[in-house]
Amino acid sequence: MSVFLILILPLLLLFIPIWFQVVVGKRTLNQQKNLKYVLVTTGSLILEVFMTILGLIISLEGQQMKGIKCASPGVIVLGFFTGVILVVVIIVQLLSNKSRINE
């Protein structure tokens, strides 16, 4: 159980905003949803920050249970990289939508 708390759950939490952006952003750009794309993007970025903090807290709790020290910066670094991936996904969605509209 503690390996799950230390490694797997924080990683899964970091990829939830990316999944949300891909699915809901695609539907929004295809006009299948009535949400504005800016709201979806802002929500994804805020969700990324919250999931990074939540993953850090869960990781720290799991580390305290096992007596492990100094493993929490990995969650912060992975949170930064998933944030970069999220921004890349947003840019790709916008560019693909603009090229589709121009055709």
Tell me the per-residue pLDDT of 19-65, one tens digit each, with 9 for 90 and over: 999 998 888 888 756 578 888 899 999 999 998 888 888 877 777 77
The share of the chain scoring above pLDDT 90, in percent, equals: 25
Tokens linked to 9: 């759950």
- Segment 64-81 shows an average pLDDT of 73
- Segment 67-71 shows an average pLDDT of 66
pLDDT range class, residue 103, cuts 50, 70, 90: low
Neighbour tally for 7: CB within 10 Å: 15
